[in-house]
Amino acid sequence: MNQYQEKLFQKIESSELAISVIGLGYVGLPLALRFLEVGFQVYGIDSDERKIQAISTGKTYIKHIPSDKYDVYRKNGKFQATSNYEFVGKSDVIIICVPTPLTLYREPDLTYILQTMESLFPHLKKGQFICLESTTYPGTTEEVLQPYLTKSKLTCGLDAFLAFSPEREDPGNQKFTTQNIPKVVSGVTSSCREIAARLYTKIVDQVVEVSSTRTAEMTKLLENIHRAVNIGLVNEMKVVADKMGIDIYEVIRAAATKPFGFVPYYPGPGLGGHCIPIDPFYLTWKAREYGVHTKFIELAGDINSSMPNYVIEKIIYGLNKSEKSLKKSKIIVIGVAYKKNIDDLRESPSLFVIQKLLELGAEVFYHDPYISEFNEHGIQLKNSDLSTQLIDESDCVVVITDHDSIDYNLLLERSKLIIDTRGRYKSALEKVIRA
């Protein structure tokens, strides 16, 4: 153990660390909060001035993280939010939690990581520990981040340290939090891994060390590919079951009684969020470098991507049964967040359904208690109150995101037609069509 590693260990144990968390979104903000809770100094850095302003004035911009969770640390000076990377020079630890989207061609877009590293570069110094948490393809930590240390005349594992620890946040999940979700960690060298393990042990209940950053990067991809493939399977099963007049939700519930060998996954209107629709394609892209075509993963992606169109077909079918055309029909979309009980719109299938409905000439309203308005994909809409008048005047209600606070009995009582993509209603109900 050299002097730099020993000094970091001492600061970790005494909670004297200063940490810069780059990216204050659904991953970075909960992580910053957890570091604050154990006594560290935290600088939250983000390019979005709206987030900086919200934190600086004691407001929240993520509904399931109330401002009182972190405002006390803002007031006592332990938490500073800024867009200024000069704070990196005051930090012992730098944790990167920036988005990793796809290009239009389903290829990795590392723009945010590269921009972050360029901004960090002038402020890097000896003795710092850098950890990437953004989901990416195996090799990113070593191939993309490590060269910046070399360019700074720093030697990884000796006077600077580099690690990867994939985020495992599940926004809105009350059971699993940053603290009780096991944390996978690794480093470019053994000393980097040891520091990562020691650091995260301060904030999580269980740290899982793996042999390399590539292994840690692949672990995150496998977790999300596992879900994407199984959701793709059950989405395909849904279509087959529907053709056969079988309730797929009853099938899943029955299969889930088997105490071994089966894990229940549920169909839906398509995938949403920052992970499952995107992460599998990071591996398919990297696999091509090794001459491997990941057919299974890509097939699941194609099935899941087709589900919003399946919903549209069901809407058209339901309206036709009532001798109505989709054009000029009044449609209420229930829920635009990508999953229930959160305010996250990223990659939400609702957006694709709404876009298609508008293109086909429908008049579209939405109700979502978590999202007051949005401007995405060229669509700008405001939340509508779920009044009896609006329901009575509508031709169809489409349940896309089944927030628990929605009055589903009211919808069933007043609606003419319900397209249910989440299994909220029994399929035998006359006015309900499963999609």
Segment holding 333, helix H or strand E: strand 330-334
pLDDT digit string, tens, across residues 246-282: 999 999 999 999 999 999 999 999 999 888 899 999 9
**Alpha-carbon distance values, 209 to 165, 243, 392 (Å):** 9, 47, 57
**Is the Cβ–Cβ distance between 218 and 282 less than 8 Å?**
no
pLDDT of residue 275: 86
| Assigned CATH for 249-434 | 3.40.50.720
pLDDT of residue 102: 92
Q: Report helix, strand or coil for 239.
A: helix
Query: What does the DSSP assignment read for 30-71?
Result: HHHHHHHHTT-EEEEE-S-HHHHHHHHTT--SSTTS-GGGTH
pLDDT above 90 (res 432): yes
pLDDT of residue 274: 82
**Do 3-211 and 249-434 show the same overall fold?**
yes
pLDDT above 80 (res 135): yes
pLDDT of residue 171: 86
Report the side by side order of strands in the sheet with 363-367: 363-367, 330-334, 396-399, 418-420, 432-434
Please give the backbone phi and psi of residue 300, each rounded to the nearest 5 degrees, phi first. Answer: -60, -40
pTM for the full predicted model: 0.93
Rounded-to-integer distance, Cα 119 and Cα 101, Å:
19
pLDDT band at 173 (very low <50, low <70, confident <90, very high): confident
Segment holding 412, helix H or strand E: helix 408-414
- Which among 304, 285, 282 has a CA at the least distance from the CA of 293? 285
Q: Structurally, what CATH architecture does the domain formed by 3-211 represent?
A: 3-Layer(aba) Sandwich (3.40)
pLDDT band at 174 (very low <50, low <70, confident <90, very high): confident
pLDDT of residue 301: 93
Q: What is the mean pLDDT of residues 230-237?
A: 97
**What residue segments make up the domains of the chain, in order of their start?**
3-211, 249-434
Active-site annotation holds for 192? no
* Token code pair at residue 30: 């909960």
Please give the backbone phi and psi of residue 354, each rounded to the nearest 5 degrees, phi first. Answer: -60, -45
Which residues are 79's β-sheet partners?
Answer: 42
pLDDT of residue 38: 95
pLDDT of residue 377: 84
Q: What is the mean pLDDT of residues 113-133?
A: 97
**Mean of per-residue pLDDT scores for the chain:** 95
pLDDT of residue 63: 86
Which residues are 130's β-sheet partners?
Answer: 94, 162
pLDDT of residue 426: 82
pLDDT of residue 1: 83
Quick one: what percent of the chain has pLDDT higher than 70?
100
* Token code pair at residue 334: 């229930």
Please pick, among 156, 192, 275, 396, the residue that the annotation labels catalytic.
275
- CA 334 to chain centroid, in Å, comes to 20
pLDDT digit string, tens, across residues 9-36: 999 999 999 999 999 999 999 999 999 9
- Which among 8, 18, 30 has a CA at the least distance from the CA of 180? 30
pLDDT digit string, tens, across residues 286-331: 999 999 999 999 999 999 999 999 999 999 999 999 899 999 999 9
> Could you tell me how many residues make up the chain?
435
